[in-house]
């Protein structure tokens, strides 16, 4: 049986597909799993032993459509569910299924502020595979490194990894708070983020000094994963690095501003592994959640969902978690 699994983006959503891919592989002896994603995210799947062939595109599946057509797939699992995957399903002669996005429930939560939890998107992906008799095994997310991987950047022997990235401003812990936290931290702090966070990372480094290692915009996904894997603790906004830390079974503090875990993007750790994790959020802010994604500025102009999360409190939580680990 040859199956095409489709998920184009982004880091967190792609990592959340890995439990279903693993369980699909383990369910059938004769299965051949092909994965279709964007080239910029290929490292998430590249070394995954449960995938037989990886297909990548830059923008559209039209780029490789005839190659996919020639594969004569038996089934297509659409884990993206957008206009690109819709086009693919309309043009590939193959049986398919997709998963429930629950966007209306998220919108209702934004409007009413009643936070009725939505199941994790990784578990909802399995609904697309119910016809294949595949179920979640409770073992969390996967991420695999290449053999003989070498990290070529300087790192302190013990450090905290802080993912300061976020697609939207209202999902980012304030820069001045990151600076204050880093100044007071008992350990060096390694900053993680993309090109968009490079200037912010430089600002934090300039303000704090040699205690901060700024690798925003400098690393591949695999190199970022190495930093997370070898840290004593991870602090992350609600972003892809949060799910990467989960896949690597790291103790973590996840920071939540305008979004809420009840949207179904919460950390999905393995069921039977004890890993320290704390949500850092202010449930008393009445305007949360104000968007299922985020905003470029606070609609209310007070940004209380993040401003109320004081760095001293974050410092206390991190110290307590490190103490528990030790």
DSSP state of 120: P
* pTM, entire model: 0.97
pLDDT at 326 over 90: no
- Name the CATH superfamily, with its identifier, for domain 2-132: Glycogen Phosphorylase B; (3.40.50.2000)
State pLDDT tens for residues 116-150: 999 999 999 999 998 899 999 999 999 999 999 99
Report d(CA 62, CA 185) in Å as an integer: 50
160-325, superfamily in CATH? Glycogen Phosphorylase B; (3.40.50.2000)
User: Do residues 201 and 214 touch, judged by C-beta distance below 8 A?
Assistant: yes
Q: Looking at residue 325, what is its pLDDT?
A: 82
Q: Are 161 and 233 in contact (CB under 8 A)?
A: yes
Per-residue pLDDT tens digits for 278-291: 999 999 999 999 99
**CB-CB contact of 3 with 78 (8 Å):** no
Where are the CATH 3.40.50.2000 domain residues in the chain?
2-132, 160-325
Dist CA 279 CA 282 (whole Å): 9
Mean pLDDT of the chain: 97
**In b/e form, how buried is each residue of 147-165, taking b as 16+ CB within 10 angstroms?**
eeeeeeeebeeebbbbbbb
């Amino acid at each position: 049986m040859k199956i095409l699994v489709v998920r184009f983006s982004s880091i967190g959503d792609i990592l959340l597909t890995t439990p279903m891919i693993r369980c699909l592989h383990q369910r059938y002896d004769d299965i051949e799993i092909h994965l279709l994603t964007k080239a910029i995210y290929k490292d998430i799947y590249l070394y995954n032993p449960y995938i037989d062939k990886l297909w990548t595109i830059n923008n559209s599946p039209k780029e490789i459509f005839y190659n996919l057509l020639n594969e004569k797939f038996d089934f297509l699992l659409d884990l993206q569910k957008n206009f690109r995957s819709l086009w693919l399903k309309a043009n590939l002669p193959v049986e398919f299924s997709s998963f429930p996005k629950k966007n209306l429930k998220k919108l209702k939560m934004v409007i009413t502020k009643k936070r009725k939890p939505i199941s994790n998107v990784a578990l909802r992906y399995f609904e697309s595979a119910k016809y294949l008799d595949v179920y979640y095994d409770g073992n969390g997310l996967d991420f695999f490194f290449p053999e003989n991987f070498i990290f070529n950047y300087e790192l302190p022997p013990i450090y905290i990894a802080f993912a300061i990235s976020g697609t939207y401003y209202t999902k980012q812990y304030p820069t001045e708070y990151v600076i204050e936290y880093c100044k007071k931290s008992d350990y060096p702090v390694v900053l993680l983020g993309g090109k968009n966070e490079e200037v912010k990372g430089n600002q934090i480094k300039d303000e704090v000094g040699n205690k901060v290692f700024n690798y925003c915009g400098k690393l591949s996904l695999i190199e970022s994963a190495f930093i997370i894997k070898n840290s004593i603790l991870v602090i992350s906004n609600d972003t892809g690095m949060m799910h990467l830390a989960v896949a690597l079974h790291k103790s973590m503090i996840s920071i939540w501003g305008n979004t809420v875990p009840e949207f179904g993007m919460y950390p999905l750790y393995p069921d039977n592994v004890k890993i320290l994790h704390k949500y850092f959020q202010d449930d008393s802010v009445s305007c949360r959640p104000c968007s299922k994604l985020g905003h470029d500025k606070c609609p209310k102009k007070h940004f209380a969902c993040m401003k109320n999360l004081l760095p001293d409190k974050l410092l206390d939580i991190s110290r307590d978690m490190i103490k528990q680990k030790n």
